[in-house]
Amino acid sequence: MTTSKSTQWTTFQTPACQVDFSDSKLQGRMNQLWNTNLSGFTRQGITGNPWTATNSSDQTWYFDPTTTDTSEGGYASITWSPVPGRIKYYFPNISNPDMWSLADTGYDTNGVTFGRISADPCDPSDTSKIPYGPYGPRGWQDEYCEWSITRNADNQIVRIDFTCENPEYWNTLWMVSPQRVVELYRETLDKPQIALEDLYLRDVSGAPVIDASTGRPAYDPLNKWNRGTASTASAGGAMHLTSTPNTLQTEIGLGSTATTPRTSGNSNAETLICCAQYGQIGRNSDPHIGQAVNQTVTPPNPVVPSARATIANPPGLYIQKPDFGMITAPRGIDPSTFWTVKRGRETLTDPQGRELPGNFILHAVFEVPAELGFTISDLEVEGVPVQWAAQIAQTFNMQIAAMALPQQPGPAAQACAGSPAVPFAQALQLFHTPVFEAMLATPIANPVGQPMNLASNSTMIAPQIEPGAQRRPMTLVVTGLLDPPQLPTISFGPGVHVFGGTMRPVTYAIPGNTYPSTSYALSLLVSVDSDAAPGLRDVTVTNPGQAPQAAVPALLNVVDPVAKDMV
């Protein structure tokens, strides 16, 4: 059932209902693209994984809030600390200064990076070790909040930028207007020196890579102004999330997977996450979020009715206001005056007039005004002098707002997720080939020195193609192939034709994953009939000798040429 626009949002709203264009046409285009992307992510989450996993599909107790009557829905706040919980989880004897230093820089107070950790913490019998991840310039900040730190010549902290903005939003914004993206970078980071060209994705020769979705240079999500945790006048900053698990599509996937009741029960968050195989054990976020959602669908108290659940519209991960009582400033100055919300808002009301729980802050700056004559390094948090930004991060929480719709009876519990005896081919991502090749060829440095490339910071946004396009080079990344691998059959449905097909193994972290894995990249030529229907297309990938399985939702976006010209 769908309610009227006067009582609910019938499209996915931008995070915190953010409006980044004064031009109504451009904002309308942004809203349209955002709704398309989020609708696709939601279908992907509900579909789950029927190809290469067992007991992980048809997650229909997660619902789409734009197509469901939410008038009887209730909101709930799920919160956690932004300080990386896995540091203390794997290194329980670490001192607080070393933990704060690792959270800030990837190195402890002696300049030593993370040690090796269990390859499978859910399996106590597995004694193998791997380098601590996620990899990346601030990959270890994996609680859906990342920060960059500005220090003065005396190494005192003068500014901290905290962001929880998802990369999908900024990629969508770039598709609408690169010029607006660079303006927002300058305004938010207070760096007028940022140039549009600084944000371009470049190939191995240094030339900008043209994205066939727009006909313009593609966006580099790890450009020099959104990289690492040190911010200076010449590089660095935290504009949006970059740790590979920190994506909104992943959060929707976690939420949908967590709605499946498990035979393991849900009284223990770690047991549940190992059973359901979503997220990473040891985080402050994933185990807690998954348990909270699962207990909504299958309450521990049988008196409480079961419910369907979703991430409340507008979907996002949000910073909460700090507990300023934890912070002491010289001369008794109120530390709340050092906190500035750059993007997002403190409160949000839905179309029914109901206030959503918590704050909806997307980017905040903590900075002592220069005229006061002291810096953040002169503050104390709970009586301890501030030397690291992580100490300030400890004063606030992160949040997702969830929604539940009471419904009886509840779903039957399923066994733990596992691996099928015979997997089926599964599409993972689709790219315009020049974009994929440039990202794959761009190495990314990280403290633990593990091989990583920029493809790990791509997104699941469906690439666009217009009706009438002929033999457009595209790359489809797949898994679940036969052993030895054989070229599968690929179908995007009526009006879309696939030619050619060579494949090779590629290694990167599929967006949302903590660690890189090896998949297969299929090089294709894609044509679209001139009268093909516009909209998101699902893709079916079928191994030789196997029956076609369910299609993977929303991997290609056939866009009307008029709409594409607006981008």
User: Which tokens go with 26?
Assistant: 């451009």
The answer to whether 560 touches 467, Cβ cutoff 8 Å, is yes
Structure confidence at residue 565 (pLDDT):
52
Of all residues in the chain, the percent with pLDDT exceeding 70 is 98
Residue 130 carries which side chain, given as an amino acid letter?
I
Structure confidence at residue 7 (pLDDT):
79
- Give the right CATH number for 426-566 from 2.60.40.10, 3.40.50.300, 3.90.1150.10, 3.90.1720.10: 2.60.40.10
The answer to whether 284 touches 83, Cβ cutoff 8 Å, is yes
Structure confidence at residue 560 (pLDDT):
86
Structure confidence at residue 304 (pLDDT):
72
Domain with CATH 2.60.40.10 in the chain: 426-566
Structure confidence at residue 235 (pLDDT):
98
Structure confidence at residue 241 (pLDDT):
98
The residues of the chain scoring below 50 in pLDDT are: 1-4, 567
Structure confidence at residue 6 (pLDDT):
61
Residue 399's nearest CA partner among 267, 299, 292, 294 is 292
SS3 272: helix
Instruction: Give dist(CA 435, CA 225) in Å, integer.
Output: 20
Structure confidence at residue 250 (pLDDT):
96
